[in-house]
Amino acid sequence: MSAFVCILDRSGAPVDPRDLRRLAGPLADYGPELDTLCRGPVGLALRHRGGPGAPWRLGPLADDPAVTAVLSGSFALVEADPRSGRLRLTRDRLGDLKVYYFLDSRWLVAASEPAAVLAHGAVSDALDEGAAARFLGFRFGHTERSFFREIRELPPAHHLEVTAGEATMERYWRFPRRPGGRGLPPEEVTSELRQLLGEAVAAETAGLRPEEVALSLGGGLDSTAIAALAPPGIRAFSWTFEGADERPLVEAVSRHLDLPVRWVPGDGLHPLCDGFEERFVHRGSPHVNPFSALKCRLYEAAREAGCRRVLVGDGGDALYAAREYWLRDALAAGRPWALRSLAGTVRRAARGDRFARLSLARVLPVRGLRTALRRDPIPWLTPEGRAALPPAAPSPVLPPGPRRRARWELAAGAKQTELESEERRLFARCGVERGNPFRSWPLLAWAIGLPAWWYQRDGRTKVLTREALRGRLPERVLESPRVGLLGDFFLRGIELRREGLRERVFRRPVSDWRRYVRADWLEPYLADTRAIAFGHTILWRVISYELWVRRLVQGER
């Protein structure tokens, strides 16, 4: 895993290697080894942990599309021609790796982290209000805006080419259209899912010995699906907590697959534990995973055991993100069980079930009823916060035309791109590579092309995956109604820091987040930690934004 920063001086003056090394300073988490290359007006600095670094080409630029066609997975490509003063940046198809840049009449400064771009003297650190409102409003969309006014983000599957006189941006790839699986027999669909997910797991383990691959294993269907399809010899790691964990389900998978598990204690690593701010609040953005300390202990344990890559199932839910469309798709296909399930869907919607409400909103023709079912989507934002929200465009990698556009956006859109990139910073800090088979674009393209009723039936989710893995995983895992206890773990951390949060976040005379978020809407969630709710997600965003602005932007503690 590597991080880069590059410079093009559009005036033609040679780049000073000392500037490159200075700009690479904020990328230290990505590795101790620093390579710099300067040729006239262009230069690149690369941070890595040994082995091959990020793709880099020096010389006449190849305009042949085959240059990017042969690259797959997560990559950032920097190509430069020093003689002509020409530099081209390319971001991977799904946008798993970020590429940020500053561009004016003289400079192009680009990097994998905003902090490296900010280290250049020409770049202002003024904040972007629209990006702040989008973050605190929990809104996602491809706006090409970073949290800093003068720094932009290169969209997924795009080239940015800059010379002394011009700058052009071009998309080089998008998802192909795939036919839906309306009339396919169930055996064929489950077989295809097993094959595609198996190929994605194989791609993430290629070139590594099995003992060099770790799996972050929980009791849920996503990580256990990877375990069922992974090559023999990989090593599994799992958290254990005092009083509440997923150990019984993990042990059942371990016995069934003959997969030894190393247990990593997670007690004391709750959100905002000692040292949390110093270790995990960074300059690039306010994204701070509340489980950073917990995850780091597992990833570091894997690294100490000799593993180079850790497989995770974090993207599994995105694969099935279109499940709220299941009722519409089923009714359109004339599936009789959908009609039998309609009454149950109405009952669940009346009790407040989010997916049931959205399912009804997709099929009811009356606009007023649709609005009532969807509710006000951003009741926590102030009028100023609503006004600052930037317009969000669909992901540029989606297939052309409106058909299935929304469900494609759910799985391959800005939210998943954002989360994947932020996780990679955490992996880099721990010295291991990240492998996420569910971010395989052939798998995504196939899965999102299916009618959504394949994934949800009679209130049960991920039905197709459960059937595809029947016999390969224990029945108690396949039929488990609820897994995942990190929500309870999060609430415990808030309980332990409640009074401190009141003083440091809610009772400060000046808090930047109050411009965007209504304190009266939010504060009850700080007091109510009986059960996890969506308001706790907004609470965490406010906490992390406040810590970020005070500590790293305003220089406060």
Among 423, 455, 483, identify where a domain stops. 483
Q: Are residues 446 and 519 in the same domain?
A: no
Better-predicted residue by pLDDT, 409 or 288: 288
User: Is residue 492 domain-resident?
Assistant: no
How many domains does the chain contain in total? 4
Selection from 424, 105, 416 nearest residue 284 by Cα: 424
User: Is residue 178 domain-resident?
Assistant: no
Residue 241 in tokens: 């907590």
Q: What does the pLDDT read at residue 64?
A: 58
Q: How far is CA 313 from CA 393, 413, 435, 480, in A?
A: 27, 18, 9, 17
Residue 555 in tokens: 């220089």
Residue 404 has pLDDT above 70, yes or no: no
Domain that includes residue 338, residue range: 324-409
> Per residue in 126-150, is it b (16+ CB within 10 Å) or e — as a string?
ebbbbbbbbbbbebbbbbebbbbbb
Q: Are residues 348 and 438 in the same domain?
A: no
Q: What is the pLDDT of residues 311-326, one digit of tens each?
A: 999 878 877 777 777 7
Judging by beta carbons within 10 Å of its beta carbon (0-12, 13-18, 19+), is residue 377 exposed, middle or buried?
exposed
Q: Are residues 161 and 259 in the same domain?
A: no
Q: Are residues 39 and 157 in the same domain?
A: yes
User: Is residue 210 domain-resident?
Assistant: yes
Better-predicted residue by pLDDT, 329 or 68: 329
Q: Are residues 405 and 419 in the same domain?
A: no
Q: What is the pLDDT of residues 254-271, one digit of tens each?
A: 999 999 999 999 888 999
Residue 545 has pLDDT above 60, yes or no: yes
Q: Are residues 312 and 201 in the same domain?
A: yes
Residue 181 in tokens: 């699986």
Pairwise CA distance, residues 252 & 230, whole Å: 17
Beta strands in 152-241 (DSSP E): 152-153, 158-162, 167-171, 213-216, 235-240
User: Is residue 489 domain-resident?
Assistant: no
Selection from 378, 381, 388 nearest residue 129 by Cα: 388
User: Is residue 276 domain-resident?
Assistant: yes
Q: Are residues 70 and 190 in the same domain?
A: no
196: which residues sit within 8 A by CB, 6+ positions away? 440, 442, 443, 446, 447
> Per residue in 317-329, is it b (16+ CB within 10 Å) or e — as a string?
bbbbbbbbbbbbb
Q: Are residues 298 and 399 in the same domain?
A: no
Degrees to nearest 5, angle at CA 29 with 28 and 34? 40
Among 171, 202, 223, identify where a domain stops. 171
Please state the φ and ψ torsions of residue 115, each to the nearest 5 degrees: -60, -35
Q: Are residues 202 and 288 in the same domain?
A: yes
Q: What does the pLDDT read at residue 418?
A: 83
Residue 483 in tokens: 């897994």
Residue 403 has pLDDT above 70, yes or no: no
Instruction: Tell me the whole-structure pTM to 2 decimals.
Output: 0.91
Q: Are residues 201 and 309 in the same domain?
A: yes
Instruction: Taking residues 402-417, report their average pLDDT.
Output: 75
User: Is residue 491 domain-resident?
Assistant: no
Rounded to 10 degrees, the C-alpha dihedral 492/493/494/499 comes to 110
Among 131, 147, 171, identify where a domain stops. 171
> Per residue in 394-421, is it b (16+ CB within 10 Å) or e — as a string?
bbebbbeeeebebbbbbbbbbbbbbbbb
Pairwise CA distance, residues 423 & 319, whole Å: 18
Q: Are residues 34 and 163 in the same domain?
A: yes
The distance between the two most distant Cα atoms of the chain, rounded to a whole number of Å, is 72
Q: Are residues 153 and 280 in the same domain?
A: no
